Amino acid sequence: MVCDPIPGLQTVALSVVAGRGARAEDEIHSGWSHLLEHMVFKGAGGRSARQIVEVIEAQGGNINAATGYERTSFQVRALADGLDLGCAVLADLVQRPAMDAGDLAREKQVVGQEIAEAADAPDDLVFELAQTAAFEGQPLGRPILGTPASIGATTPETLSAWRASLYGPQTLVVSAAGAVDEDDLLWLAERDFGQAAGAPPTPQAPAAFTGGQRPVAKTLEQANLVLLLPAVGVKDEAYFALRLLAEILGGGMASRLFQEAREVRGLAYAIDAYSETYADTGVLGVFAGCAAKDAAELVRVVAGEIAGMLTPVGEAELARAKAQLKGAMFMGRESALARAEQAAGQVLLFGRALDPADMAAQVDAVSPADLVKLAERILAPKKAAVAVLGPKAALKAAPAFEAALF
């Protein structure tokens, strides 16, 4: 349990987070965690789907959920006096869903439409293609939504068994921020989750970055590109160095990629770099949108800027990146829900909530030499995952990136 009171706030955010998600799935169970997250809202604890929403909204709140690779979270935001009800409702969703066969049949159709929608959205599909290439044949390389075939195989009984393993008490964290008292939250957590039961979680296999190319021709006006390189996980000592490297490379309008690829050369209408981290691994990524004729030249520019990180950055550039990163970290904490979610994730990973001041100090401690060392680690395997989606003229960008970088 994590409690983060925010003086003066008249609202509360409550998150019940399970430390399991799509990464717990094998190919047969692909998409089951996401489907389960949908299904618990169809009825739980004696309330219908409509009643679950109405009872929360009647107290000025809202309810939501999200499934990721390593976590599934259920969230309620409410006025200060809505914590009691919110905790009870979330406990019902996690522990006592109805799992009606008719609801499941309908929800399979809804998720099937969600899968089709993602396939029709270029900026969704290109990321999925890159993720598949980066972690081929592994849970991290499969879409969180699953496939029509894998979700079609579920029954109320098999999905209930999946819930017992996914939302077992060993994986759950109850976290609240805002107008909340620690004693009150502890009492509610004991009341609603003290008797939680479920199977112990199975160990997750380590992830391995495989790399590969996924060029897909599609009739589009522009080319969409995602370039991924193997990086470090959230527990690695170089985690903040990775965040800063991504910031310098393509984190904003002053970044190297934005300035060189867009402002100087005019090759891209959108370009940015980012890091995506998991418990034991991560990726450094670049997304770009450009004219098909410019795709090959653009990825060569990107390769050059990535290689440029092997040279120590200047103090002014590093100071700017640190200010941006710390600004993002602290601005994110202005949301009570973000604070509750962040704290829950930290407890699952580290066994405790981390002090924001300590994290800021770790950002400040990163040196130019640390960034060079990390860039060397990222480039040493000579592996990349490259997804290109768009007109045929853009597809040559996939081999061009690897040839330029390696």
Catalytic sites, residue numbers: 37
Residues 6+ apart with CB under 8 A from 396: 295, 296
Helical H segments across 282-335, by residue range? 295-307, 315-332
Q: Parallel, antiparallel, or unpaired for β 223-231 and 385-390?
A: antiparallel
First to last CA, the chain: 47
Looking at this protein, which amino acid is placed at residue 93? L
Half-sphere exposure of 357 (CA within 13 A, CB side): 0
Q: Are 402 and 230 in contact (CB under 8 A)?
A: no
Q: Which strand (E) or helix (H) includes residue 223?
A: strand 223-231
Tokens 């994986």 sit at which residue? Answer: 171
Tokens 């706030």 sit at which residue? Answer: 9
DSSP state of 259: I
Candidates 120, 117, 124, 144; CA nearest to 224 is: 124
Candidates 383, 387, 382; CA nearest to 398 is: 387
How far is 402 from 385, CA to CA, in rounded Å? Answer: 9
